[in-house]
Amino acid sequence: MTTWGWRSHFYGLVPLGWALQAAGHEVRVASHPALVPAITAAGLAAVPLGADVDFATAFAGRIGAVGALDPAEDEPDDNPDGTVEPAITADGGVVRFADALLDDLVGFGRSWRPDLMVWEPFNLAAAVAAAALGVPGVRHLWGPDSSVTLRLDPEPVLGPLAGRFGLAAADVDLAGVLTLDPVPPPMQVPATGPTRPVRYVPYNGPAVLPPWLHGPADRPRVCVTAGTMMAGAGLDDRLDLPRVVRAVAGLDVEVVVLVEPAQQAALGPLPGNVRLVDSPLALRLVLPTCAALVQQGGAGTTMTALGLGVPQLVLPQVSDQHFNAERLAVTGAGTWLPDARAADDDTLRALVGELIADGPRRAAAALMRDRVHAMPAPAEVVPALVDLAAGTRS
């Protein structure tokens, strides 16, 4: 397995890594040195390679604010709100991460000789390395396939990377020979290649179960989170999180706030019905006790709530979050606001109140939970991956 960029990119791979390892296969997770703590904390063997790239620096000014997903509706010459075209470019952060990892990844592959490579979306280094090593590759989606919203010109983006190993851009398949898809219909978009369903098993990092989660809540519990990526990319100021928390706290609910440690101080004084979590607490542990989730629209956060049947309000800030919110809305299991800053407190409270009620949102969330649970567990997918690996070994 190989992963890039940010720890939430890796989290989606963890349950499959466990399944492969439990079945007796050798699993190594190759990534940038900074991701070693996240990999080893998950109980998998890390292989630090290449150089670290600062996520915030690499994507500074290149993660667009929420805007129209149809380029025809967002003219670049008249762009007062600062939105950018959804694209992977030769000088962008995705390529910078690939460039910092690729040479060492191929070198490790030549030494260790894997029979199969598994990677997550937008991992250009993995796809090039698989082609250079002649190894079948499997792409493991982490949520709805947002690549359909991105422009990628293979020659300028992949050509220089592939050329290091005597390959052309056309020799590299970013989707591998198989895509593992954890998103049930109607949330997922149509696939463009061979796919196989796999159940989304939530993993959000190390966690400690506090005493207040040993039993049910005394009144409806609403979780508010901003995920992990926005703070890591230096974009956490795009959502007025303190206002959102206080608005939700105006309901007769208990509000549980899960944010990165660096974001906690900025919240300021909080109402008495707000619980600010200050110890490792994974989303997968708190959501089963919650009546609703208010979040930013990250794929891992969205899929965790989907698999646990929790209705969601999404307040997206960048384009992939916008995409996830739109796909969630198709299911009826949640709703979203394109511009949370423009929504007043009464609007936020009304939407959350709708989610915690026994209405169509809750019924749709339960239906989507059942669809997630009906998908094959990661362990059931292992034989198909073994068959792919067997071809390499033979």
Q: Are residues 290 and 331 in the same domain?
A: yes
DSSP label of 376: P
Q: Give backbone dihedrals phi and psi of 225, rounded to 5 degrees, phi first.
A: -140, 155
Note the pLDDT of residue 231: 52
For residue 314, the surrounding DSSP H or E stretch is strand 312-314
User: pTM for the full model?
Assistant: 0.92
Note the pLDDT of residue 342: 81
Give the mean model confidence (pLDDT) for residues 113-137: 97
Q: Give backbone dihedrals phi and psi of 378, rounded to 5 degrees, phi first.
A: -50, -40
For residue 256, the cross-strand partners are 223, 275
Residue 164 has pLDDT above 80, yes or no: yes
- pLDDT band at residue 263, thresholds of 50, 70 and 90? confident
Q: Answer yes or no: is 1 within a domain.
A: no
Q: Are residues 174 and 215 in the same domain?
A: no
Note the pLDDT of residue 120: 97
Close Cβ partners of 66 (under 8 Å, ≥ 6 residues apart): 83, 316, 317, 318, 319, 321, 322, 338, 339
The CATH number linked to 147 is 3.40.50.2000
Q: Are residues 176 and 256 in the same domain?
A: no
Q: Are residues 122 and 267 in the same domain?
A: no
Query: pLDDT tens across 49-76, in order?
Result: 999 999 878 876 666 655 444 544 444 4
> How many CB atoms are closer than 10 A to CB 214?
7
Q: Answer yes or no: is 2 within a domain.
A: no
Q: Are residues 33 and 145 in the same domain?
A: yes
Domain that holds residue 273: 211-373
Burial label, 270 (beta-carbon count in 10 A; 0-12, 13-18, 19+): middle
Note the pLDDT of residue 251: 97
Q: Which amino acid is at 331?
A: T
Lowest mean pLDDT, pick from 92-96, 236-240, 361-365: 236-240
Q: Answer yes or no: is 34 within a domain.
A: yes
Note the pLDDT of residue 55: 84
Residue 382 has pLDDT above 60, yes or no: yes
Residue 233 has pLDDT above 60, yes or no: no
Taking the C-alpha atoms of residue 267 and residue 257, their distance in angstroms, rounded to an integer, is: 10
> How many CB atoms are closer than 10 A to CB 108?
20
Taking the C-alpha atoms of residue 121 and residue 88, their distance in angstroms, rounded to an integer, is: 12
Note the pLDDT of residue 199: 98
DSSP label of 65: B
Note the pLDDT of residue 388: 95
Residue linked to tokens 């969630």 = 328
Q: Answer yes or no: is 66 within a domain.
A: yes
Give the mean model confidence (pLDDT) for residues 116-125: 97
Q: Are residues 280 and 297 in the same domain?
A: yes
Mean pLDDT of the chain: 91
> How many CB atoms are closer than 10 A to CB 46?
20
For residue 276, the surrounding DSSP H or E stretch is strand 274-276
Q: Are residues 269 and 188 in the same domain?
A: no
Residue 135 has pLDDT above 70, yes or no: yes
**Reduced to 3 states, what is the DSSP secondary structure of residue 31?**
strand
Q: Answer yes or no: is 206 within a domain.
A: no
Query: pLDDT tens across 75-84, in order?
Result: 444 444 555 6
Question: Strands 274-276, 334-336: parallel, antiparallel or unpaired by DSSP?
Answer: unpaired
The distance from CA 323 to its chain's CA centroid, rounded to whole angstroms, is: 12
Q: Are residues 70 and 145 in the same domain?
A: yes
Q: Answer yes or no: is 263 within a domain.
A: yes
Which range, 123-132, 253-262, 264-273, 341-350, has the best average confidence (pLDDT)?
Answer: 123-132
> How many CB atoms are closer than 10 A to CB 12?
24
Lowest mean pLDDT, pick from 72-81, 205-214, 241-250, 258-267: 72-81
Q: Are residues 156 and 31 in the same domain?
A: yes
Q: Are residues 254 and 126 in the same domain?
A: no
Q: Answer yes or no: is 205 within a domain.
A: no
- pLDDT band at residue 111, thresholds of 50, 70 and 90? very high
266 against 383, higher pLDDT: 383
Residue 24 has pLDDT above 90, yes or no: yes
Q: Are residues 182 and 88 in the same domain?
A: yes
Domain count within the chain = 2
Query: pLDDT tens across 294-303, in order?
Result: 999 999 999 9
Q: Are residues 13 and 38 in the same domain?
A: yes
Interior angle at CA 153, CA 149 and CA 159, nearest 5: 140
